[in-house]
Amino acid sequence: MRRLPFWVPVLPLLLGLVAYWLYWQGEAKAFGEVVAARVGVPVETAGFPYRIEARAADIAVRRQTRELSFAAHASSMVVNRQPWRTGHVVIVAEQPRLQIALTRLAGMRLDVEAPAMLASVRRPGDTLERLSMQFETAKVWLPFAGGPFDAKNFELHLRETPGGEPQGKSPTLPVQAEARIAGTLDRAGASLGIDIPLFVTARAPIGAIDGWRNGGTIEVKGAQLLAKDKPLADIDATLAPLPDGRIAVSGTIRSECPFTVKALLEGAAPAAEYRARRARTMTLTGDSAAGFVVGEPEGATGGPVRSQEPPCPVPHR
């Protein structure tokens, strides 16, 4: 029996590899053009065969509309995706600085400066399924809370949920987007962990601030403050737009260490406190221009307590 030449069984593999290389080249060129158009600087593509990377340096992006001001800077950036997954990208940036402000809403500003950022964006169609940004360390300014804070393990997450269900039994509108802010914030010698889920309600998918202001709210459900990675307080609140552009907040805080929590939220040094035998409730009010106002704990005098209960944590750095 005549033996086939070596190249005969190998030829289909070589042809497949060449075909895939040509496909990868086309995808890489198109992806590089899209990234270059978004960041405004030339990019280099690499990553064959398993991914497509678009690399760029000295990034400076600015976008300004009637409702939104956005600026992003980075010394370098790598945007990559798999050749067969066009709707999902991963971004690694060095020395990023992000500045986001809702210009028609008072005090609604978010700034982040960090040595590095890891981000993931998934948007296979017209709906943002996931935006996640992670910073091991950062300096941040937050709506309502101000800043700057020195943050560790700081995370921002956002996704659109068009046509979602209302939150709870209250007469709120359907949830059109969800967000989450988490991390540990340090300032003036105090360290406080946050884990804040946000549910944005509106009559329809949010395409503009004016549409959201017509009855929309931001519902805070099950938010937590943490000290040394342990729960310190639970927060539920509603944020609603006012006609003058401020965002009003109305809610409750529950904690077994109410005076410690009140001092931290008001920017004061917490005094020594023993845990209450049951969680105390405080009101949370204010607006995005003036900041938070924390009411006095219900049923708590701040006087002597039985020392059998453990002391409240002192959230120092």
| CB-CB contact of 237 with 249 (8 Å) | yes
- As to burial, measured by CB atoms within 10 angstroms (0-12 exposed, 13-18 middle, 19+ buried), residue 303 is exposed
From the list 218, 221, 232, the residue with the least C-alpha distance to 184 is: 232
Q: In this structure, what DSSP letter does residue 261 have?
A: H
pLDDT of residue 169: 55
pLDDT of residue 308: 60
Spatial neighbors of 203 by CB under 8 A, at least 6 apart, are: 173, 174, 211, 214, 215, 216
Extents of the domains making up the chain = 1-95, 131-317
pLDDT of residue 290: 86
pLDDT of residue 29: 92
Residue whose entry in the numeric block shows the structure tokens 């105090």: 190
| CB-CB contact of 144 with 292 (8 Å) | yes
Whole-prediction pTM: 0.87
Query: CA–CA separation, 154 vs 133, rounded Å?
Result: 8
pLDDT of residue 71: 95
pLDDT of residue 180: 97
pLDDT of residue 170: 56
Spatial neighbors of 29 by CB under 8 A, at least 6 apart, are: 45
Helix (H) or strand (E) run with residue 23 in it: helix 7-39
User: One digit per residue, pLDDT tens: the chain, 317 residues?
Assistant: 566 666 667 777 888 888 888 888 998 999 999 999 989 899 999 988 889 999 999 999 999 988 889 999 999 999 999 888 888 999 999 999 999 999 889 989 999 999 999 999 999 888 899 999 999 999 999 988 888 999 999 999 999 998 766 555 556 789 999 999 999 998 877 788 999 999 999 988 888 888 888 889 999 999 999 988 889 999 999 999 999 999 999 999 999 999 999 988 887 777 788 888 889 999 999 999 888 889 999 875 555 555 567 888 877 65
